[in-house]
Amino acid sequence: SSGMITIDPGFKNTGSCESAITFLDGEKGILRYRGYSIEELAEKAEFLEVAYLLIFGELPNQEQLANFHKDIKAESHVDEEMKKILDGFPKSAHPMGVLSSLTSALIAFNPASVNVSSEKEMYGAIVRILAKFPVLVAWTLRKKKGLPLDYGDDNLGYVENIHKMMFKKPNQEYKSNKLVIEALDKLLILHADHEQNCSTSTVRIVGSSHAGLFASLSAGISALWGPLHGGANQAVLEMLEAIEKDGGDTKKYMAKAKDKNDPFRLMGFGHRVYKNFDPRAKIIKKAADDVLGDMGIDDPILEIAKGLEKEALEDQYFVDRKLYPNVDFYSGIIYRALGIPTEMFTVMFALGRLPGWIAQWREMRLKNEPIGRPRQVYIGENARAFVAVEKRK
Ligand code: SDX
Q: How far apart are CA 138 and CA 74, in angstroms?
A: 18
271 lines ligand 1 (CB under 6 A): yes
Q: Name residue 254's amino acid.
A: M
User: How many angstroms is it from 259 CA to the middle of ligand 1?
Assistant: 15
Distance 88 CA to ligand 1 centre (A): 36
Taking CA atoms only, the protein residue closest to ligand 1 atom 55 is 270
pLDDT digits (tens, 9 = 90+) for 269-315: 999 999 989 999 999 999 999 999 999 999 999 999 999 999 999 99
- What's the pTM? 0.96
Helices marked H in 94-231? 95-109, 119-145, 158-167, 178-190, 198-207, 213-225
Tens of pLDDT along 225-234? 999 999 999 9
Share of the chain above pLDDT 90, in %: 96
**Contacting residues for 98 by C-beta, under 8 A, at least 6 apart:** 86, 89, 139, 140, 143
The DSSP code for 344 is: G
Q: Does the CB atom of residue 274 touch ligand 1 within 6 A? A: no
Q: Whose CA is nearest to atom 19 of ligand 1?
A: 228
How far, in Å, from the CA of 270 to the mean position of ligand 1? 4
Based on its alpha-carbon atoms, the radius of gyration of the chain, rounded to whole angstroms, reads 22
3-state secondary structure 127-159: HHHHHHHHHHHHHHHHHHHCCCCCCCCCCCCHH
Closest CA to 328 of 346, 352, 343: 346
CA of 196 to the centre of ligand 1 (A): 15
331-386 tens-digit pLDDT: 999 999 999 999 999 999 999 999 999 999 999 999 999 999 999 999 999 999 99
Rounded to 5 degrees, φ, ψ at 285 are -60, -45
Residues 130-142 have a mean pLDDT of 98
Is 271 an annotated catalytic residue?
yes
Catalytic pick from 271, 289, 294, 315? Answer: 271
Of all protein residues, the one whose alpha carbon is nearest to atom 9 of ligand 1 is 197
